[in-house]
Amino acid sequence: MTDIYPSRHAPKPQILPRHDPVVHGEWTQSAPLTREQTERFDRDGILILEDIFSPREVRGLQEEAGRLLADPSALAPDSIITEPGSNEVRSIFAIHDQNRLMARLAADTRLAGVARFLLGDEVYVHQSRLNYKPGFEGKEFYWHSDFETWHVEDGMPRMRALSMSILLAENTAHNGPLMLIPGSHHQFLSCVGGTPDDHFRMSLKKQEFGVPDRENLAALVERNGIVAPTGKPGTIILFECNVMHGSNGNITPFPRSNAFFVFNAVSNRLEAPFGVDRPRPTFIARREPAPVAPQRGPIIKEAA
Ligand code: 6CS
Ligand code: FE
How many structural domains are present in the chain?
1
Nearest ligand to the C-alpha of residue 93? 1
Q: Which atom of ligand 1 is nearest to the CA of 260?
A: 11
Query: Are the beta carbons of 82 and 205 closer than 8 angstroms?
Result: yes
The pLDDT-based confidence of 98 (bands split at 50, 70, 90) is very high
Residues 6+ away with beta carbon under 8 Å from 253: 135, 136
User: What pLDDT shows up at residue 201?
Assistant: 83
141 lines ligand 1 (CB under 6 A): yes
Q: Ligand 1 pocket check: which of 144, 149, 261 to mutate, most ligand atoms within 8 Å of Cβ?
A: 149
Task: Give percent of the chain with pLDDT exceeding 70.
Answer: 99
Instruction: Answer yes or no: is pLDDT of 299 > 80.
Output: yes
* Mean pLDDT on 264-269: 98
Residue 164: CATH number of its domain: 2.60.120.620
Q: Which residues have CB less than 5 Å away from ligand 2 (the ion)?
A: 146
The pLDDT-based confidence of 49 (bands split at 50, 70, 90) is very high
**Domain presence at residue 299:** no
**Domain presence at residue 71:** yes
d(CA 166, CA 103): 13
Task: Identify the DSSP state of 68.
Answer: H
User: What pLDDT shows up at residue 1?
Assistant: 66
11, with CB counted inside 10 A (0-12, 13-18, 19+), is: exposed
Closest CA to 255 of 96, 105, 90, 98: 90
Query: Are the beta carbons of 210 and 191 closer than 8 angstroms?
Result: yes
- The strands making up 123-131's β-sheet, listed across from edge to edge, are 46-49, 236-240, 161-167, 258-265, 123-131, 89-93, 80-82
User: What pLDDT shows up at residue 286?
Assistant: 97
Domain extent at residue 74: 15-172+188-268
Q: Could you report the per-residue pLDDT of 156-205, keeping only the tens digit for each?
A: 999 999 999 999 999 999 999 999 999 999 999 999 988 888 888 888 87
**Domain presence at residue 290:** no
**Domain presence at residue 177:** no
**Domain presence at residue 295:** no
d(CA 37, CA 300): 27
pTM for the whole structure:
0.96
Instruction: Answer yes or no: is pLDDT of 295 > 80.
Output: yes
Instruction: Answer yes or no: is pLDDT of 303 > 80.
Output: no
Instruction: Answer yes or no: is pLDDT of 67 > 80.
Output: yes
Q: Could you report the per-residue pLDDT of 205-264, keeping only the tens digit for each?
A: 777 777 899 999 999 999 999 999 999 999 999 999 999 999 999 999 998 899 999 999
* Mean pLDDT on 90-107: 96
User: What pLDDT shows up at residue 37?
Assistant: 98
**Domain presence at residue 214:** yes
User: What pLDDT shows up at residue 80?
Assistant: 95
Nearest ligand to the C-alpha of residue 145? 2
Residues 6+ away with beta carbon under 8 Å from 197: 278
Instruction: Answer yes or no: is pLDDT of 111 > 90.
Output: yes
* Mean pLDDT on 284-290: 95
**Domain presence at residue 291:** no
Instruction: Answer yes or no: is pLDDT of 304 > 90.
Output: no
User: What pLDDT shows up at residue 28?
Assistant: 97
Task: Give percent of the chain with pLDDT exceeding 90.
Answer: 82
Nearest ligand to the C-alpha of residue 142? 1
Output the residue whose Cα is nearest ligand 1's atom 5: 204
**Domain presence at residue 69:** yes
Residues 6+ away with beta carbon under 8 Å from 277: none
Mean of the per-residue pLDDT values for the chain? 94
- Count the helices and strands in the chain (H runs, E runs): 8, 12
